[in-house]
């Protein structure tokens, strides 16, 4: 693909950070946080798609990250950084165990099991009284002295992990992941442990997902089991399909566009279902490469001069 | 003793519907390699159509059995039309593309669910009882209506099983789901068989939904919980396998009724998941799966 001017990306990132710091009103700040978190969730969902698996357990790991982060903050009064890290570590470690079992299955089987995993986790949350059962946890706030910086912190963390995921995809490890999607038997024959590689892939993605969950918990201040149904993964899938899965920027693009558009659809009840459903159907039927692929095709006519940032 | 009979009876009536539901899922997967997330919406549409049509027909002065009969047929026809539309405009282009078709079906499920809420409103509906009375079998109790429902569901499932085992179309369906290229080489018209398989699967979901309409409370999102159970059943049994779907459905029904009685329904669901994990650990392609 045509190289995207790096300067443009850096400039956009800087604008996002600075802009989020100055976002005065509560609504604008929250919107920025939601968009940023959705972007990172979509990127982590896409990371597991590199090995060719649709990871519906992702919604469950968002929940684990959120609950672990919430517990760290409300019950043990740990610093924000530690709470985020705990959320990520909890999701990552649990995903290694779950992945070790479930990734023996692939394709339809993995997808359905990961889907069931998410739904079962939701039931478990509602049964455990320490974390509030059905009514959930309240009072998950970032420390008061950080509250003003919170949107900027979220954007920074998201950008950092986007970069990490991008570098990993470009590394040898990332190439193995894509090779597994294309032909896992062949990868096995050159002496690479396919199963363990898949488990690590899920672990890394879930670590990032856990961060998303912890960030979300501190942004919403309240979490309940209903927030982490499989619909979270379905919405993420919509972002990815509309944005385009061939490049990580497709995930970013899709999440930004749809999250902003969905603001109009929100609050109309059933329209939210129709909105996301239609987005997926249209994305799959009419935009097989997503918005990113569309943009690429439009740009390929007149090639972007390399290195110039305009 | 009574309690065991009762649990068995409960398992039977839950299982009968699951069998119909998961037979459709597994058939569609076998023939087209599509994991149809929108399967629950066929089921829901049938139940909703019956729930709307029966009171409407009664208002016209139709006697109760006639109203049910007409509503039942109308619901099946309506769902078949929806199935045909989805096949022509969407699934046909995505057969054998497992991820693409799954994503598409997720979108369709969401879209249809939203549309149902718009069209049928999110109100819950309860229909008048068709057949009054309760039967006692060996100390277990079951309403006559539910017993009739079970028997019909089991007859349909048995008929389906026979048709797939012995008829010409059934053999073609099995051949296609085993190896569609080899089947085509034998002169089996894959496209036509795929359409038949998809529509039969759709029809099975519609029968399940329409049969359940008189005995449960119907809302526009009724498909979701059956979908999850149906998926668990076919994963346990092995995707694409007809006997697997039946075994899986019965296991799920037993866990649901026994677990629901001794513990509570959500623990039963968790137990189902644990069972899926164990089955996959031992046999990564389900009990009857081969691949």
> Mean pLDDT in chain B?
87
- Measured CA to CA in angstroms, residue B261 lies from A144, B3, B11, B13, B266 at distances of 48, 10, 11, 15, 11
- Where are the alpha helices (H) located in B167-289, listed in sequence order? 168-178, 180-185, 190-212, 223-237, 242-262, 265-282
pLDDT of residue A229: 87
pLDDT band for position A178 (cuts 50, 70, 90): very high
Give the mean model confidence (pLDDT) for residues B120-149: 79
B278 versus A60: the higher-pLDDT residue is: A60
- Nearest-CA neighbor of A146 among A156, A161, A137? A156
Q: Could you read off the pLDDT of B185-214 as tens digits, one per residue?
A: 988 898 899 999 999 999 999 999 999 888
- The number of domains in chain B is 1
Q: Answer yes or no: do B117 and A52 touch at CB < 8 A.
A: no
Q: Is B143 helix (H, G, I), strand (E, B) or coil?
A: strand
pLDDT of residue A202: 96
Q: d(Cα B237, Cα B207) in Å, to the nearest integer?
A: 22
Domain assignment present for B149: yes
Q: Which of B103, B231, B277 sits opposite A280 (nearest CB)?
A: B103
pLDDT band for position A4 (cuts 50, 70, 90): low
Q: Could you read off the pLDDT of A14-50 as tens digits, one per residue?
A: 777 777 666 666 777 888 888 999 999 999 999 999 9
Q: What is the token pair recorded at B166?
A: 């012995």
Cβ burial of B168 (10 Å; 0-12, 13-18, 19+) is: exposed
Q: Which of B108, B272, B280 sits opposite A277 (nearest CB)?
A: B108
- Measured CA to CA in angstroms, residue B71 lies from A13, B143, B204, B261 at distances of 58, 22, 16, 34
Q: What is the value of pTM for the model shown?
A: 0.85
Q: Which of A77-81, A298-302, B52-56, B162-166 has the lowest mean pLDDT?
A: A298-302
CB A56 within 8 A of CB B227: no
- Nearest-CA neighbor of B273 among A124, A125, A100, A226? A124
Q: Which chain A residues touch B239 with a CB distance below 8 Å?
A: 108-109
Residue B19: phi, psi to the nearest 5? -60, -50
CA A106-A112-A115 angle, 5° bins = 120
Q: Which of B103, B117, B269 sits opposite A270 (nearest CB)?
A: B117
Q: Which of B118, B231, B281 sits opposite A104 (nearest CB)?
A: B281
pLDDT of residue B101: 87
Q: Which of A40-54, A71-85, A140-154, A294-308 has the lowest mean pLDDT?
A: A294-308
pLDDT of residue A309: 38
Domain assignment present for B289: no
pLDDT of residue A204: 96
Residue with tokens 């539309």: B85
The answer to whether the complex's ipTM is over 0.90 is no
Q: Which domains does chain A have, with CATH numbers?
A: 6-301 (1.10.3470)
Q: Could you read off the pLDDT of B156-186 as tens digits, one per residue?
A: 989 998 998 899 999 999 888 888 889 889 8
CB A198 within 8 A of CB A57: no
pLDDT of residue A310: 37
Q: What percent of chain A has pLDDT over 70?
A: 90
- Which residue is closest to A123 within chain B, CA to CA? B266
Chain B interface includes A247 (CB < 8 A): no
Q: d(Cα B120, Cα B51) in Å, to the nearest integer?
A: 10
Among B102-106, B133-137, B262-266, which range has the highest average pLDDT?
B102-106
Domain assignment present for B19: yes
* Partner residues linked to B142 by β-bridges: B135
Q: Answer yes or no: do A101 and B113 touch at CB < 8 A.
A: no
pLDDT of residue B129: 78
pLDDT of residue A268: 61
Chain B interface includes A97 (CB < 8 A): no
- Please say if the pLDDT value at position A307 is more than 70: no
Give the mean model confidence (pLDDT) for residues A82-96: 95
Q: What is the token pair recorded at A255?
A: 């999440």
pLDDT of residue A270: 57
Q: What is the CA radius of gyration of chain B?
A: 19
Q: Which chain B residues touch A277 with a CB distance below 8 Å?
A: 107-114
Q: d(Cα B25, Cα B38) in Å, to the nearest integer?
A: 10
Domain assignment present for B49: yes
Q: Could you read off the pLDDT of A208-242 as tens digits, one per residue?
A: 999 999 999 999 888 999 889 888 998 898 899 88
pLDDT band for position A267 (cuts 50, 70, 90): low
Domain assignment present for B178: yes
Residue A223: phi, psi to the nearest 5? -130, 150
- Please say if the pLDDT value at position A293 is more than 70: yes
Give the mean model confidence (pLDDT) for residues A170-193: 92
pLDDT of residue A97: 93
- Here the CATH number for the domain that contains residue B137 is 1.10.3470
Q: Which of B117, B234, B277 sits opposite A101 (nearest CB)?
A: B277
Query: Best of B92, B97, B118, B235 to disrupt the A interface by mutation (most A CBs within 10 Å)?
Result: B235
Q: What is the token pair recorded at B224?
A: 């979701």
Domain assignment present for B258: yes
Give the mean model confidence (pLDDT) for residues B260-279: 82
Q: Could you read off the pLDDT of A268-285 as tens digits, one per residue?
A: 655 778 888 888 898 888
Q: d(Cα A74, Cα A83) in Å, to the nearest integer?
A: 10
Residues 6+ apart with CB under 8 A from B106: A234, A237, A280, B37, B38
- Please say if the pLDDT value at position A2 is more than 60: no
Q: Answer yes or no: do B232 and A112 touch at CB < 8 A.
A: yes
- Please say if the pLDDT value at position B237 is more than 70: yes
Chain B interface includes A124 (CB < 8 A): yes
The full DSSP string for A150-169 is HHHHHHHHHHHHHHHHHHHH
pLDDT of residue A306: 45
Residue B115: which domain range? 2-282
Q: What is the token pair recorded at A147?
A: 């509250």
> Mean pLDDT in chain A?
85
Residue B188: phi, psi to the nearest 5? -80, 125
- Nearest-CA neighbor of B236 among B282, B205, B280? B280
pLDDT of residue A7: 65
Q: d(Cα B87, Cα B222) in Å, to the nearest integer?
A: 22
Q: d(Cα A112, Cα B229) in Å, to the nearest integer?
A: 11
Query: Best of B87, B98, B107 to disrupt the A interface by mutation (most A CBs within 10 Å)?
Result: B107
- Shortest distance between the Cα of A182 and any Cα of chain B, in A, equals 14
Q: Answer yes or no: do A112 and B114 touch at CB < 8 A.
A: no
Domain assignment present for B86: yes
Buried b (16+ CB within 10 A) or exposed e, A34-67: bbbbbbbbbbbbbbbbbbbbbbbbbbbbbbbbbb
Q: Which chain B residues touch A123 with a CB distance below 8 Å?
A: 266, 269-270
pLDDT of residue A292: 87
Residue with tokens 């499989």: A230
Q: Could you read off the pLDDT of B137-149 as tens digits, one per residue?
A: 777 777 888 888 8
């Amino acid at each position: 693909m045509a190289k995207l001017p790096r300067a443009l990306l850096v400039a956009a990132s800087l604008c996002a950070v600075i802009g989020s710091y100055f976002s005065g009103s509560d609504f604008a700040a929250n919107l920025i946080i939601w968009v940023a978190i959705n972007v990172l969730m979509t990127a982590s969902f896409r990371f597991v798609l590199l090995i060719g698996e649709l990871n519906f357990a992702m919604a469950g790991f968002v929940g684990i990250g959120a609950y672990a982060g919430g517990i760290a903050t409300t019950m043990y009064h740990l610093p924000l950084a530690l709470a985020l890290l705990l959320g990520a570590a909890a999701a990552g470690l649990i995903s290694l165990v779950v992945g070790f079992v479930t990734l023996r299955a692939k394709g339809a089987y993995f997808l359905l099991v990961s889907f069931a995993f998410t739904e079962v986790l939701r039931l478990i949350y509602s049964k455990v009284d320490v974390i509030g059962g059905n009514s959930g946890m309240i009072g998950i706030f970032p420390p008061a002295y950080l509250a003003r910086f919170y949107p900027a912190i979220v954007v920074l963390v998201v950008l950092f992990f986007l970069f990490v995921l991008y570098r990993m995809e470009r590394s040898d490890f990332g190439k193995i992941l894509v090779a597994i999607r294309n032909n896992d038997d062949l990868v096995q024959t050159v002496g690479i442990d396919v199963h363990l590689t898949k488990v690590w892939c899920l672990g890394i993605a879930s670590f990032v997902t856990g961060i998303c969950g912890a960030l979300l918990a501190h942004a919403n201040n309240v979490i309940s089991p209903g927030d982490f149904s499989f619909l979270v993964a379905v919405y993420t899938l919509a972002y990815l399909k509309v944005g385009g899965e061939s490049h990580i920027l497709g995930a970013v693009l899709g999440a930004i566009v749809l999250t902003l558009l969905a603001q109009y659809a929100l609050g109309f009840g059933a329209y939210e279902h129709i909105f996301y459903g239609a987005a997926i159907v249209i994305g799959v039927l009419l935009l097989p490469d997503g918005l990113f692929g569309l943009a690429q095709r439009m740009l390929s006519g007149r090639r972007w001069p390399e290195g110039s940032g305009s | 003793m009574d309690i065991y009979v009762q649990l068995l009876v409960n398992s039977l009536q839950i299982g009968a519907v699951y069998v119909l539901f998961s037979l459709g899922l597994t058939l569609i997967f076998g023939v087209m390699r599509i994991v149809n997330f929108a399967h629950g919406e066929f089921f829901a549409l049938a139940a909703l159509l019956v729930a709307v049509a029966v009171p409407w027909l009664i208002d016209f002065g139709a006697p109760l059995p006639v109203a049910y009969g007409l509503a039942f047929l109308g619901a099946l026809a309506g769902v078949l039309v929806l199935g045909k539309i989805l096949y022509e405009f969407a699934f046909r282009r995505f057969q054998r593309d497992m991820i693409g078709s799954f994503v598409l079906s997720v979108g369709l499920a969401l879209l249809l669910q939203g549309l149902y809420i718009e069209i049928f409103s999110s109100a819950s509906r309860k229909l008048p009882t068709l057949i009054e009375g309760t039967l006692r079998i060996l100390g277990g109790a079951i309403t006559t209506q539910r017993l009739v429902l079970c028997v019909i569901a089991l007859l349909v499932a048995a008929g389906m099983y026979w048709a797939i085992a012995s008829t010409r179309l059934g053999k073609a369906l099995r051949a296609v789901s085993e190896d569609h290229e080899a089947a085509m080489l034998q002169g089996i018209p894959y496209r036509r068989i795929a359409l038949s398989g998809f529509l039969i699967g759709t029809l099975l979901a519609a029968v399940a939904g329409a049969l359940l309409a008189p005995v449960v409370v119907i809302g526009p999102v009724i498909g979701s919980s059956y979908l999850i159970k149906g998926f668990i059943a076919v994963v346990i049994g092995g995707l694409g396998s007809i006997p697997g779907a039946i075994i899986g459905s019965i296991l799920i029904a037993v866990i649901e009724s026994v677990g629901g009685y001794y513990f509570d329904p959500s623990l039963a669901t968790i137990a189902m998941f644990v069972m899926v994990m164990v089955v996959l650990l031992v046999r990564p392609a389900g009990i009857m799966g081969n691949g």
